[in-house]
Amino acid sequence: MRKGYFITIEGIDGSGKSTQAKLLHQYLQEQGYRALLTREPGGTDLAEEIRRVILTPGKEELDPMAEILLYAASRAQHVNGLIRPALESGAIVISERFIHSSLAYQGYGLGRDLDLILEINRLAIGDLRPDLTFLLDATPETSGERVRSRSQVNGNGYDRIEMRGLSFQERVRAGFLRLAEEDRRILVIKTAGKSIEAVFEELKEIVNRSLNNFK
């Protein structure tokens, strides 16, 4: 039986997921919890290789169904090789992105069938779902500025998903918000006009309440 606690952080590109995930991981470790920080696509060596295939722009356009299946393959490797063993050992797992990203990006963003995406992921990972999901809600315009700044600093340019532009991110954001309306485990944190520290304080307060009886 699973003993751990599974937290995921979702949002459109440039919404601050990586920053908040790292802050939460550091905070939980300081509080004496055994915490694991990971990301999707990726998390294991093989899953990171699939990430490279998905995100690296190339001459050949990535077919939408191939994209769904690649994400599911990466997730299967990630879950069975890293997340599930960590949860079974009693750890808190924090993942930047999980199944809600597939629903928002490939479902709402690309217009693919949501039930099909869910079924493919059920085959890949079984019934594993997060105990708590944070949706960092930022406007595509604000997030786009962050992505541009990040790509300039890193010198890597845009990845395949980031290259799809503003209208795609708007559909993805709308999809995330729709998912949050339908699932009480998804908690929306508005980031507009807030500092990194203010956003983290909101997130930290919710986590402390949720983990009150876990330690």
Note the pLDDT tens digit of each residue in 66-93: 999 999 999 999 999 999 999 999 999 9
List residues bridging with 37 in a β-sheet. 94
**Residue 1 predicted with pLDDT over 50:** no
Contact 169, 101 (CB under 8 A): no
141 against 189, higher pLDDT: 189
Q: Chain centroid to CA 24: how far?
A: 14
28 against 166, higher pLDDT: 28
194 against 158, higher pLDDT: 194
Q: Which domains does the chain carry? A: 5-210 (3.40.50.300)
**DSSP reduced 3-state for 4:** coil
The 10 Å CB-count burial string (b at 16+, else e) for 70-80 is bbbbbbbbbbe
When pLDDT is cut at 50, 70 and 90, the band that residue 152 belongs to is: low
Note the pLDDT tens digit of each residue in 4-19: 999 999 999 989 999 9
Contact 122, 38 (CB under 8 A): no
pTM here is 0.92
Q: Cα–Cα distance between 90 and 35 in angstroms, integer?
A: 9
Structure tokens at 152: 């300039």
Sheet of strand 186-190: strand arrangement: 35-39, 92-96, 5-10, 132-137, 186-190
The 10 Å CB-count burial string (b at 16+, else e) for 22-33 is ebbbebbeeeeb
Range in 7-11, 110-114, 146-150, 179-183 with the lowest mean pLDDT: 146-150
**Residue 115 predicted with pLDDT over 60:** yes
The DSSP letter of residue 160 is T
In the block, which residue shows the tokens 């769904």? 68
The DSSP letter of residue 57 is -
